[in-house]
């Protein structure tokens, strides 16, 4: 682990000089791409992202099967991870909340909910709340499960985000953070070429906005490596912290118990 890695506080979009500016820049980026966010995710990941969400939801099937479980999907974006959790819960009725600080992304999530109403009825629809992951409007020890899929990496302060998750989790509650990583070997070389050369160009072409898709590979490169992330989780108050790689290590699930 390099000394530089240890000093990384959180996301740092180009031009952001402090955590507040970083948070505002991230919010602005996601607002700008919200209308085409889902399409771009599926195209740029070759639809593998759907498998990652379902696999993550299955990992917490035991918690989702309990009707009294409170579930929070943090940095939920347009709600794909939230909907995967709701689907995995099946006929059980845990309260599932999706939270994000981007109003535009939550609007897309609510629109997608309307489609779910006709398919499954109101009982299958998560609730949505606009909230900052570093200052959540929930009491201590409120949730049995907190997840975050491809959003935690964008926090302005990773350690503060972990501490806030620990705060709102019940004793014995679990956390699952699904995010990108950088694979090694030949796969790593191919991945970095695609992520740094191809993805920004295609993302910019389809969205009409350059910034977010130039930021994406930089944010993944900046994000703590698995062993460092696990160490941060333990310092924040998690035990049994583990990392499970998905698809050759392109992504992975960080899991911890309070």
Q: What is the pLDDT along the chain (258 residues), one digit of tens a residue?
A: 444 445 789 998 887 888 889 899 899 988 888 888 887 788 778 889 999 999 999 999 999 999 889 999 999 999 999 999 999 999 888 999 999 999 999 999 999 988 776 565 555 689 999 999 999 999 999 999 999 999 999 999 999 999 999 999 999 999 999 999 999 999 999 988 998 899 889 888 878 887 788 888 889 999 999 999 999 999 999 988 999 999 999 999 999 999
What residue has token string 């009825």?
121
Contact 192, 218 (CB under 8 A): no
pLDDT of residue 200: 87
By CB atoms closer than 10 A (0-12, 13-18, 19+), residue 91 is exposed
Bridge-based pairing of strands 143-149 and 95-100 is: unpaired
For the chain, list the strands marked E by DSSP: 70-74, 95-100, 127-130, 143-149, 169-180, 239-246, 251-257
Task: State both tokens at 150.
Answer: 């491809």
pLDDT of residue 3: 42
pLDDT of residue 217: 86
Q: Which CATH architecture has domain 3-257?
A: 3-Layer(aba) Sandwich (3.40)
Bridge-based pairing of strands 70-74 and 95-100 is: parallel
């Amino acid at each position: 682990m390099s000394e530089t890695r240890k000093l990384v506080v959180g996301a740092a979009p180009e031009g952001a000089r402090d955590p507040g500016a970083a948070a505002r820049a991230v919010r602005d980026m996601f607002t700008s791409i919200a209308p085409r966010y889902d399409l771009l995710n599926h195209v740029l990941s070759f639809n593998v992202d759907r498998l990652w969400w379902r696999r993550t939801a299955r990992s917490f099937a035991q918690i989702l099967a309990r009707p009294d479980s409170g579930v929070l999907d943090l940095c939920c974006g347009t709600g794909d991870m939230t909907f995967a959790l709701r689907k995995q819960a099946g006929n059980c009725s845990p309260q599932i909340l999706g939270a994000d600080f981007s109003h535009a992304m939550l609007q897309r999530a609510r629109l997608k909910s309307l489609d779910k109403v006709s398919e499954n009825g109101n009982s299958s629809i998560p609730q949505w709340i606009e909230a900052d992951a570093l200052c959540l409007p929930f009491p201590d020890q409120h949730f049995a499960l907190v997840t975050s899929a491809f959003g935690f990496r964008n926090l302005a302060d990773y350690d503060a985000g972990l501490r806030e998750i620990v705060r709102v989790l019940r004793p014995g509650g679990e956390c699952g953070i699904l995010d990108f990583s950088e694979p090694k070997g030949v796969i790593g070389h191919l991945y970095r070429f695609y992520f740094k050369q191809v993805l920004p160009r295609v993302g910019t072409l389809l969205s009409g906005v350059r910034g977010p898709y130039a930021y994406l590979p930089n944010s993944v490169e900046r994000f703590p490596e698995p062993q460092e992330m696990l160490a941060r989780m333990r310092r924040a108050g998690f035990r049994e912290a583990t990392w499970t790689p998905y698809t050759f290590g392109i992504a992975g699930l960080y899991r911890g118990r309070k």
